[in-house]
Amino acid sequence: MRNPSLPTPRLPTLRAWARARARVRGIALAALLTAAGSAAAQEAPRGDALPVREITLANGMRFLVLPQRGSPTVAFVTQYGVGGVNESPGTTGIAHLLEHLLFKGTSSIGTREPDAELGWFRKMDVLHDSLLSTRVAQATDPAAILAMEGRLRALEDSARALVVPNELDEILSRNGAQNLNAATTNESTLYYVELPANRAELWFVLESDRMANPVFREFYAERDVVVEERLTRVDTSPGGLLYETHLGAAFQAHPYGQPVVGWMSDLRTHRREDVVDYYNRFYGPVNAVVAIVGDVDVDQVEAWIHRYFDALPAGERPPPVLIEEPRQRGERRVEVRFDAEPAVRVGWHTVNAAHADAPALVMLSALLTGGRTSRLYRDIVVERRLATFVGATLGPGERYPRLFSVEAYPRSPHTTLEVEEAIYAGIARLVEEGPDPVELERVRNQLEAGSVRRLETNFGLALQLAGSASLNGDWRTTFRLEERMAAVTAADVQRVARTYLTSENRTVATLVRSAPEAGEP
């Protein structure tokens, strides 16, 4: 049988570029192995060589279009620069709730009679407002509240007669859509989908409609769905509770301390009107970046971009987050009691992702827990077997000074305290000795291979382009991490560990079994 292969690229593509580059870097690395410390590794990746077409509309909406000649599919990622950090007490979870509501349709999709629906919304919203004021009145009979909740549900059921349920999902799915979903992070909300390449125009029709004319129907039922999502992800999940509590203790002022999914009481009190207002202000073109990656004709895509998005009003950017987390002056310790085995998270305040120290912190996390040769893994998991898992992360976001965190699961009968001490001792040793050149080289080689591997899918590429452009203002920034990492020295790693990973700057959260064991006081 003939062995078919994929069509030869007609244009120089990102993958061809990466391929050429990796070959060059291969030579450079071989030279490095024989002449340690030579300048060979400093060869900069040519980020501006990527064939991304950038299109910015008059209303501020940015598009990044990257043609790829693999399978005939195309990935779309829309990223809005609004997320958990833009919320405040009482409005937490609003971006995430919107993530759900934007699947409810528009003034033409998902409805039989859009005008009639509005009348029902008004009735429901008035009843909901009185429900909220009834709930705060202490003396109210719980039966009265239950009755009002029942009436609200009945109204929404009546309004449902006008709804075509999940029509947006259905139109896309029928056209072969994959990966149809959305995600909310501390700084962003992302909507994504992949389509067969011949159906690309469908995305323009639907997404421009969704931006301009969304209707948040089935609002109260969807709020209940988000309550269930919070219960699944946080309230019945020991790991979720530990994470939420840890961030809450570490960030006393900065909104990184708030849960993206929202506090339960906020989820039960969000008002449709407030959500509409929030949407209208912050989800406009000025705050949106779209990455389109796949087997598309870039000129055709550019024409569609203008045709479908030029007319949308710009909207506004969310006010800048000016809150700064005050300097921490002493270790904080919190515990979560839950019916589960122990776990521990230790976090230190550091800097944001754009800061000059950020690459050294990434290097530090890789040296401590990245892979089976990393220091803490070898010491704590393999040699002393104090824990079954240890992992370092930087987060919860990128734009603002964030935590360097280490999480570990102790192995019985070892305690979280023993594991904690082992983590501190491992860090102290690294500060004392400094990483050796072979360790640093291993991390850099893996980053290089990772930078090739992440070009493998249209969807992965689209996420990177949109994320980098939305958070850093430039889609190239993500591709330059490797370059920044190459410049990190052993002394940099020692300096950042010494500077940030101090005892007075850390917050420790532990998960402790709630039910006392027999014999315990």
Partner 1 sequence: MTRAQRAVLRAALAIVTAATAATAAAPAAGQQSGREAALALRFEPLEFRPPRAAEHTLSNGVRVLYLEDRSLPLVNVYARFRGGFSNFPRAYYAAATALPALVRSGGTRSLPPDSLEALLERYAISTSVGTGGGSSFAAMNTLTRNLDVGLGLLGDIVRSPRFDATRVEVWRGQEMESVRRRSDDPGRLAYSEFNRLLFGDHPIGWEMEASDLEPEDLAHDRLEWLHRRVFCPGNLILGVTGDVSWEEIEPRLERLLAGWEPCAEPLPRPPRPDVRTEPGVFVIPRSLEQSTVVMAHVVNVRQNDNPDYFASRIGTSIVGSGGLSSRLMARLRTERGYAYSVSALWTAPVDYQGLVGAVTQTKSDRTVASIRLMLATLGEMAEAPPTDAEVDRTVDEIVNGFVFNFESAAQIVARQMAYRAARLPDDWLERYLEGIQEVDPEDVQRVYREHVHPERMLILVVGDPEQMDEPLAALGPVTVLDIPGPAAAQP
Within residues 112-171, the interface with partner 1 by CB under 8 A covers 157, 160, 165-167, 169-171
Task: Convert residues 237-276 into a mask of x (bound to partner 1 by CB under 8 A) and - (unbound).
Answer: xx--------------------------------------
Residue nearer to partner 1 on the CB measure, 285 or 397? 285
Report the residue from 113, 129, 228, 324 that binds partner 1 according to the rule CB under 8 A.
228
Residue nearer to partner 1 on the CB measure, 70 or 248? 70
Q: List CB contacts of 93: < 8 A, sequence separation 6 or more.
A: 87, 226, 230, 259, 260, 261, 262, 263, 266, 267, 270
Q: Where are the beta strands (DSSP E) in 73-142?
A: 73-80
Subset of residues 304 to 323 that bind partner 1, contact rule: CB under 8 A: 307-308
Count, residues in the chain: 521
Task: Tell me if residue 405 falls in helix, strand or coil.
Answer: strand
Subset of residues 280 to 309 that bind partner 1, contact rule: CB under 8 A: 307-308
Q: Which two tokens stand for residue 38?
A: 């030579």
The Cα 331–Cα 327 span in angstroms is 12
Residue nearer to partner 1 on the CB measure, 25 or 506? 25
Report the residue from 113, 224, 277, 436 that binds partner 1 according to the rule CB under 8 A.
224
Residue nearer to partner 1 on the CB measure, 174 or 327? 174
Helices (H), 335-436: 358-369, 375-376, 416-433
Q: What are phi and psi of 101, to 5 degrees?
A: -65, -25
Report the residue from 283, 409, 475, 479 that binds partner 1 according to the rule CB under 8 A.
409
Report the residue from 332, 378, 476, 484 that binds partner 1 according to the rule CB under 8 A.
378
Residue nearer to partner 1 on the CB measure, 313 or 371? 371
Among 46-54, 128-136, 339-347, 416-424, the segment contacting partner 1 (CB under 8 A): 339-347
Task: Convert residues 39-78 into a mask of x (bound to partner 1 by CB under 8 A) and - (unbound).
Answer: -------------------------------xxxx-----
Subset of residues 87 to 116 that bind partner 1, contact rule: CB under 8 A: 103, 106-109
Q: Which two tokens stand for residue 353?
A: 């992702």
Query: At 360, which amino acid appears?
Result: A
Separation in Å, CA 399 to CA 200, 259, 279: 32, 17, 22
CB 230 within 8 A of CB 264: yes
Q: What are phi and psi of 395, to 5 degrees?
A: 175, -175
Q: Does 206 bind partner 1 (CB under 8 A)?
A: yes
